Structures are given as structure tokens and as C-alpha cells.
Structure 1
Amino acid sequence: MRSAGKDDYPVTRIRLAASLVSTLTLAGCVVGPSFHAPKLAVPTGFVSPAAAPPAWPKPGWWRYFGSPELDRLVAAAKTHNFSVREAIDQLEAANAQIEISGAPLLPSITATGSGNFQQAGASAAGASSASNFSSFGGVGTRKNIDSRHFTAAFQASYQLDFWGKNYDALRAAQANAAAAQFNAATVALTEEAAVATTYFQTLAYQDELGIAKRNLAAAQGLLDQLRAEFRAGVVDAPSVAQQAALVASERANIPNITSEMRQQAIGLGILTGRAPEFLRIHGGTLSAIHVPRIRPGLPAQLLTRRPDIAEAEATLIGANANVRGAIASFFPSISLTGSAGWQSTALNTLFAPGSMLLSAATSLSQPIFEGGALEGTLNVDRATYREDVAKYEQAVVQAFTDVETAMTALHFATRQERLQRIAVERARAALDGAKAQLQAGVVDISTVLNAEQTLLSDENTLEQARLTRLDAAVNLYKAMGGGWILPKDEVQ
């Protein structure tokens, strides 16, 4: 068997290195704890009243309220809302970080090339003695010598991920990107709900303004009647003064309601990403808004319908990967390098077979003393993981709490609205009766004033009950995930 020549030896080393990579890759192991989602006690059912068949939200849940203007506002928020845009940009940055974190799992290849030219003068006779140089009168014959050198090379380096450190870094980046994706869904749902509640509040103030104006007109009409009767000597001056005071009070309340209504409309500007000057709200009345049927099913189903829970779990997966990577840093790192190139004194023979150069090398590095940096990093990552466990558990419990709270509020707000509507009907009938009795001279003006105040109070209470019911419905949509469902390719 012939021995390896100088041209065969580098090839042999490359083959040995390739064999070593294959062997170490197969024999490699991943260190650190595997991820397991925390086990929490999940209730078998919700305890809130008003049992009904499950009705989970669907995407575009706000459309079921039956308001085209609300649809337009939410569509604008989904496109122009600043928080939504910020969350999308964060998602793009997280996706780009995956490429960065995955780069160490692939070889790094670089190409280099160079050319060198050098010219030097030398004596034509070669090395002459000082005496010979002097015999010619100090005059000698010289010529220029040109030197050229050309090289071209490719170099590859690869850090063998024997302990899974680089893979864990990629895994953490993937989990963080998933968390950013789920956060974007959470932000979008939050802003959609904020648009709906702000819009409903605007409508509520419009209704209150309408109630105030109607009551003011009715009170003013009664005042005009009392003044005419006072001039005819039918009623006394205190009765007129009482009604005049009521008219002044109701008139003074209108600017405050108008201000609150406009402030709510202005608030829709920041939610839809535009200046208030470009926003036009037509509004309407809460009585025209339909409250759709909505109720969750089993509590366990809620865990796959809340993007904030998915975000918390993805963050926990990334924290677990960071712990594994920190543990892997205690173990040796193995690097492989290899290069292939050409070297020649003539450019036209640079890539000739005889100009080829090959080299390969393997290096191993083992941390010995890092001043506690590695141990400190591991402790930080472990503490962060425990913190993220607490955040995940809080997100799960908060989800159940949000649903129970919203369902309770919706149930009792619906009941209050129904009862308050009856109260308004009776207060209106009582006012009509009091006015008729006043005309007949059976009662005095104080009875009418009390009836007017009661009707005004009951109408405003009814308006607040409607708003509370709509807000509870929006909160329940939000608590149930707004139609979001965990993708099938989620991080595990």
C-alpha cells in the first residue's frame, strides 16, 4: 500500500473530518430539561348563571351587533391602529431573529482572492565584490526583477452542535416569534374591543343628550303653561319658580353631556389611527344595537381560544430553551474548519491542478474558569423560567376569571335593562297622570315636578343599563378570544 503523498494528505484529513462530523452528530446529545406545560386544575364548568348552549365567538364578532359604522371603525383600527402596527413590526423582527439564531447551525463559507506584484532592482553580474565594482569606476549594469503572486481560496467553518446549544438558541427564537404572533392577536383583540366600547359609550351619551333635550322641551312647555296660568291667577308664583328652576337645571346639564359625547368620539381617533379632524361619527342610539347570543362551552376549551395564554406558553417554551442552552455552555465546543484554494505565480495557471491547496482542522474548547459568568447566566435563565411559569398560570386563571366576570355582568345587566324598561314605562305613565291631575286642579305643581325628575332619572338609568349590557357583551367576546383559535402548527 502506497503512502499518502503531499497532495493526498489534505484530502485524507477532510474525509476524516467529515467522518468525525457524522459520528459526533449521531452520538450528540441535548442537555437540559425537556419542556412540559405546567399542569393546572381546570374547572369542569363555569359557575355563572343563565345556562345556555355554547356559542363561541367567530372572527369578525363585532359585526353581530348590527352597526355598519362600528364595522367601519373596527376595520380602520385593524389597519391603522398604532398598537396593532407596532405588534406586527415586533412580529417581523422576531421572525428575522429566527434567521439569525439559525445561522450557527449551518456552515459558514467565505471566498477570498488576492494578487500581488513586486518589482526589485538587481546587478546583472550578480553579487560583485567591492573591488570589482571600483575597477569599473563605480559604474555597473542593473536590471529589474518582477515578482507576481496570485491566490484564490474558499474557507468553510462549522461549530458542531454536539450539546444542542445552537439548536436551543434557534428554538428560543422560534418560541419568541410565536409569542410575538400571539401578542399581535391579543393586541388586535384588545383594540377591537376598545373601539366597540368607546363607540357604544358615544351612543350612550347621544341617547342621554336626546333624553335631556326632550325633558328640557317638556319642562319648558310646562313652564310656559304655568306662566300663562300665573298671569290668569290660576297658580301662584312659587309653582312657576320651581318649574323655572327645573328648566334651568336641565338646560345646564346639556353642555356637560355634549362635552362627554364629543370626548368619546375624539377618543375613537387614536384607536383608528387618525386625527380627530378626519374622523366623522354619525352615531345613533343604543336601542338599535343588537346584543348577540354568546356563551362559552367547557372551560378547557378556553385554553386554545385565548391568544394571551398561547403567548404565555410560547414565552415559557423560549425560556426553557434558554435554560438548556445555558447548561450546554458548560460543555466543550467542537469547531471544524476547512479550506481549498489555488496559488500560482501566473494568473493563467492559477486554477491548474498543481496549484491547488487543501487544509482541514478540528478544534475543541472547554470552559475552565469564566469568573462565574456561565453559572450566573444559568441562574438568571432558571429564574426567568420560573417567572414565566407564574405568568402562564396567571394567564390561565385570569382567562377563567374574565369569562366568569363578563358572563355575570351580562346576565345581571340584561335583567336590569328588562326591569328598568318597565320602570321607565311606569314613570312615563305617572308623569302623564300627574299632568292630567294638575290640569284638573287635583294636585299641585310639586307632584308634576317629582314625576318629571323620576322619569328623567329612570330614563338615564335605563341608558346606563343598556350600555352596561353592551360593554359586558364586548368583554365576554374579548374574554372568549374573539373567535381566535390556536393554530395547528403552534410551538410545542
Structure 2
Amino acid sequence: MKKSLLSLALLTALGGCSLIPEYQRPIAPVDAAWPQGETPADQQAMDLGWREFFRDPALQQLIEVALQNNRDLRVAALNVEAYRALYRVQRANLLPLVSADGTATRGRTPADLSPNGQSTVSGQYSATFGVAWELDLFGRLGSLREEALQQYFATEAAQRSTQISLVASVANAWLTWQADQALLDLTADTLKTYDESLALTQRSFDVGVASALELRQARSAVETARVSLAQYSRLVAQDRNALAQLLGQSIPANLLQKRELGDQQLAELPVGLPSDLLTKRPDIVQAEYQLRAANASIGAARAAFFPSISLTGAAGTASRELSGLFDGGSGYWTFSPQISLPIFNAGQLRANLDYAEISKNIQVAEYERAIQVAFREVADGLAAQATYTEQLQAQRDLLETSEEYYRLAERRYRTGVDSYLILLDAQRQLFNVQQQMINDRLAQLTSEVNLFKALGGGWEERRTAAGAP
């Protein structure tokens, strides 16, 4: 009895053995500070709820609809459930398999095959309680369980990353639609002005005041504006289609009203240290979990070199008659321990271990690449943040100058001081500057959204008193 307890204790101790290499996080291949020298704030963007950052109620409603209906996000959530189920499968393999079985067999033996020369009918009935258990002495099953667990954590991080990308994509699609709508309205107004100029030039040409060249230039300006009008009409329609796809349904009618591009107010983004991204940005967290999973697979590949031991046992009753199945003396039991030691497999186990180690090296490179991509995205966002304010102010000053230039050119043309070429040049310059102003404003807003995404923001949802619907 003492020997049996000692053997059980020894097997239990060996069952805790693991051949998984000790995990060490790779050193981040980036600097410890941002190139722009930003001072870290107390709060981090990744802790800022998307409702706090996007203060436009219409955009908040769009994001909420997308989070409920977007198919990519739904697939990501289902992947989490799938990997959770796979983890439960691997965890169950560590425990004994217990089963209860019942069998019944009836058969007739013909006379020419029967020992006594007479046909016979016989039966056999049994009820069995069985146990099968593979002893994980070298941690193979434990390594597979750990690998499945890390893969499950990776899919959870992937789901967060998908949501962050979705929130940013909805915001950018919404802003792009507004910008193209503003450009469409601007082009329509400009075309109306060009039509009026063409009509005036046509009358002047009819009375011999304007030249044929001026008339052709006026018509050229009108046709150019019509080309732009068709282009922006197409872009607005495509923007709506892209936004509807992100939402997973049609866009609510009350949100399709025309809005000024500057109506959206984005909260100020707090910027943390680069090291903060390593533990909280979902795609980096996902890459590290995948690295941990690859590390665990090495333990399973190493354990395959060692013997595997399985214990199989069964106990029950058996009888020729169903009525005697549970009578005294009908009990039986079996116990079948099995050990398997690999001797020759043509290098298969060695190749599996090599593959596991190479896979880990690949995941190390993937992890480092994810860090470098994240670092660049944030650095680019900070660079844009620092320069777009100056660019927009310069563009506003240029717009004021162009408007004044157009007013002066129009007055001088009407009074006969300057030719139509000067007025046409002023019109085109004003139109181009107005277009660029809208594009620059869009670029500034989307750069802020992309910086919010790059910093890992967009996962939390916090309702503020002003922004809560």
C-alpha cells in the first residue's frame, strides 16, 4: 500500500514537468522617446473612450451602429469563441476520460458448425465502466494546452484591434463623405458663377466687346467645373456606399443631412511613452501572445522525444443472459497500462522541433515588426499634429488673399481696366484654394483619428454627460 502511494506521488510530481523554454520578451527595437519629444500626459489615449474623443453625436451614433452590425467585427468575435472552444479541448485532454458502455450480442450457430451437432442460439450482455488516461509526465499535453490558451488570448487582442480599426474607419469614412460633399457644393456654386460669367461674356461677344478667345476661355472654365461636379458626385455616392458597408446596414436617413466639415470636435489626445504601446496596443499584444504560443509549441515538440504512458482500465458485469447481468459472480475488470517510446521515425520528431523553433523565430520578427509599425504610425501622427495647425492657418491666409484678388479682378474687368484673362485666373485660383482648404481640413482631422487609432484608442466606450445619447 505504501509503495502504491509512493508511486502515485512520484507520477503526480512528474506530471508537473514542462519542457517549454523560459519566455523572455524581446527587446523593443525602437527608441524610448518619440522623435517629436512629446511630454507624456497623465492619461493615455488608449484609456480614452471613443465617445470622449468623438464629440459629434451623429458620428457617435454611426460608430454604435457599426459596432453592432459590422461583419468583420462579428467574425472577430466568433474567432474568439472558436479558440476558446479549442482551448477547452486541449485542457480536457489532461483529465481522465471516463465512459460507461453497455453491449448486447445475440447469435445463432448452425448445426454443422456446432460442437454437439445441433444449432444453438447464444447471447452475451455486459455493462462496463471504463477509464482512459494519458499521463503527461513530460508536459506534452500541458504544452499544447498552453499553446491553445495563448492563441485564445491572441484572438481576444485581435478582436480589440478590429474594433479600434472599425471605429477609426467609420470616423474617416464619415469625414471623407463630408469633405467630398463640401467639395461638391463648392463646385456647384463655382459652376453657377462660371455660367454667369459665360453668359455675360457671350453678350459682350455678341456686341463685339469680348473676343472669341475670351468666350472660349469662359466656356472652358464652365466645362472644367462640370467635370469636377461629376467627379465629386461620384465620390459622394461611393463614400456613402463605403460607410454603409462599415455600418453593416443602410445609413440612417437623419444622419445624411449636410454638415460643415469643421463641426466635428475631437478631444485633445494625451500621448504616453513608446513603452506604453507594448502592453496595451492590441496588435502588439496579439503578436506577443502568438509568440508565447510558438514558445509553448516548442515544449510539446520536445516532449514528443520522450515516452508516452497511457493507463486504460475497465470494470463491469457480463452474462450470457440479460436477467443474470447483475447476479453475483458476474463482475469482471481489466487494467491495461501502455508505454510508447519512439525509436526510429526518419527524423520526423527532430524536424517537428526544428519547425517549432523556426516558428518562434518568425513570431519574434513579427512581434518586433508590429512594434516598429506602431512606433512609426504614432511618430507620423505626432509629426502631422505639429504641422497641420500651421498649414491650415497659412491656407486660411491664402484663401483670404485669393478672395480679395478675385474681388479686385472682377471690379477691374467690369470697369474695363483688365482683360478677362486676369478675372479667369483669379476665379481658378480661388476655386483651387477653396478646394485645398477643404482637403487640408480633412487631412488634419483624419490624421487626428489615425493618431487616436495608432495610440490604441477606440476600445473603451465611456459616456460623458454632454455626449451620451
Same fold (TM over 0.5): yes
Cα distance between partner residues in 1 of 2:156 and 2:269: 26
Aligned residue for 2:279, secondary structure, equals: coil
Report what 1:266 is aligned to: 241
Against the structure 1 CA distance between its residues 162 and 473, is the aligned structure 2 distance closer, same or farther, given a 3 Å change threshold?
same
Cα distance between partner residues in 2 of 1:17 and 1:366: 24
Alignment of 1:441-456 (within 5 A): 441-456=416-431
Report what 2:35 is aligned to: 47
Aligned residue for 2:19, secondary structure, equals: coil
Are the aligned partners of 2:50 and 2:459 in contact in 1 as well (CA < 8 Å)? Answer: no
Cα distance between partner residues in 2 of 1:384 and 1:30: 19
Does structure 1 residue 216 correspond to structure 2 residue 228?
no
Report what 1:374 is aligned to: 349
Report what 1:33 is aligned to: 21
Are the aligned partners of 2:30 and 2:371 in contact in 1 as well (CA < 8 Å)? Answer: no
Report what 2:11 is aligned to: 24
Does structure 1 residue 469 correspond to structure 2 residue 444?
yes
Report what 2:361 is aligned to: 386
Alignment of 1:58-457 (within 5 A): 58=47, 60-61=49-50, 64-116=53-105, 149-229=124-204, 236=211, 238-274=213-249, 281-345=256-320, 347-352=322-327, 354-457=329-432
Against the structure 1 CA distance between its residues 361 and 19, is the aligned structure 2 distance closer, same or farther, given a 3 Å change threshold?
farther
Shift of 1:306: 0.8
Shift of 1:32: 3.8
Q: Give me the identity figure in percent.
A: 28
Cα distance between partner residues in 2 of 1:120 and 1:209: 92
Q: Which structure's CA Rg is the greater one?
A: 1
Shift of 1:97: 0.7
Report what 1:131 is aligned to: none
AA of the residue aligned to 1:24: L
Cα distance between partner residues in 1 of 2:205 and 2:37: 56
AA of the residue aligned to 1:80: N
Shift of 1:176: 0.8
Against the structure 1 CA distance between its residues 370 and 444, is the aligned structure 2 distance closer, same or farther, given a 3 Å change threshold?
same
**What is the CA deviation profile of residues 446-477 of structure 1, one whole-angstrom value per residue up to 9, with x for unaligned ones?**
22222111111111111111111111111101
Against the structure 1 CA distance between its residues 425 and 353, is the aligned structure 2 distance closer, same or farther, given a 3 Å change threshold?
farther
Report what 1:134 is aligned to: none
Shift of 1:72: 3.2
AA of the residue aligned to 1:36: Q
Report what 1:489 is aligned to: none
More displaced 10-residue stretch of structure 1: 92-101 or 21-30: 21-30
Against the structure 1 CA distance between its residues 260 and 483, is the aligned structure 2 distance closer, same or farther, given a 3 Å change threshold?
closer
Cα distance between partner residues in 2 of 1:235 and 1:24: 105
Against the structure 1 CA distance between its residues 462 and 49, is the aligned structure 2 distance closer, same or farther, given a 3 Å change threshold?
farther
Shift of 1:361: 3.4
More displaced 10-residue stretch of structure 1: 60-69 or 247-256: 60-69
Cα distance between partner residues in 2 of 1:143 and 1:43: 93
Cα distance between partner residues in 2 of 1:97 and 1:375: 26
AA of the residue aligned to 1:436: R
Cα distance between partner residues in 1 of 2:420 and 2:120: 126
Aligned residue for 1:369, secondary structure, equals: coil
Cα distance between partner residues in 1 of 2:439 and 2:110: 102
AA of the residue aligned to 1:31: L
Against the structure 1 CA distance between its residues 358 and 20, is the aligned structure 2 distance closer, same or farther, given a 3 Å change threshold?
farther
Cα distance between partner residues in 2 of 1:292 and 1:455: 32
Are the aligned partners of 1:35 and 1:320 in contact in 2 as well (CA < 8 Å)? Answer: yes
More displaced 10-residue stretch of structure 1: 91-100 or 305-314: 91-100
Are the aligned partners of 1:183 and 1:311 in contact in 2 as well (CA < 8 Å)? Answer: yes
Shift of 1:309: 0.5
Query: RCO greater where, 1 or 2, for CA within 8 Å and sep 6 or more?
Result: 2
AA of the residue aligned to 2:36: S
**What is the CA deviation profile of residues 240-267 of structure 1, one whole-angstrom value per residue up to 9, with x for unaligned ones?**
4433332332233211121122122222
Shift of 1:335: 1.4
Are the aligned partners of 1:312 and 1:392 in contact in 2 as well (CA < 8 Å)? Answer: yes
1:460 to 435, 438, 441: 435
Give the TM-score taking structure 1 as reference length: 0.83
Are the aligned partners of 1:204 and 1:467 in contact in 2 as well (CA < 8 Å)? Answer: yes
Cα distance between partner residues in 2 of 1:55 and 1:319: 31
Shift of 1:353: 5.0
More displaced 10-residue stretch of structure 1: 103-112 or 410-419: 410-419
Against the structure 1 CA distance between its residues 322 and 52, is the aligned structure 2 distance closer, same or farther, given a 3 Å change threshold?
closer
Are the aligned partners of 1:55 and 1:293 in contact in 2 as well (CA < 8 Å)? Answer: no
Are the aligned partners of 2:107 and 2:121 in contact in 1 as well (CA < 8 Å)? Answer: yes
Shift of 1:276: 8.8
Does structure 1 residue 56 correspond to structure 2 residue 45?
yes
Give the paired residue count.
455
Are the aligned partners of 2:39 and 2:271 in contact in 1 as well (CA < 8 Å)? Answer: no
Aligned residue for 1:334, secondary structure, equals: strand
Cα distance between partner residues in 1 of 2:51 and 2:429: 35
**What is the CA deviation profile of residues 152-182 of structure 1, one whole-angstrom value per residue up to 9, with x for unaligned ones?**
1111011111111001001101111111111
Are the aligned partners of 2:52 and 2:267 in contact in 1 as well (CA < 8 Å)? Answer: no
More displaced 10-residue stretch of structure 1: 212-221 or 159-168: 212-221
Are the aligned partners of 2:164 and 2:458 in contact in 1 as well (CA < 8 Å)? Answer: no
Cα distance between partner residues in 2 of 1:431 and 1:159: 87
Are the aligned partners of 1:63 and 1:71 in contact in 2 as well (CA < 8 Å)? Answer: no
Are the aligned partners of 1:427 and 1:458 in contact in 2 as well (CA < 8 Å)? Answer: yes
Against the structure 1 CA distance between its residues 354 and 425, is the aligned structure 2 distance closer, same or farther, given a 3 Å change threshold?
same
Are the aligned partners of 2:163 and 2:459 in contact in 1 as well (CA < 8 Å)? Answer: no
Report what 2:467 is aligned to: none
AA of the residue aligned to 2:348: A
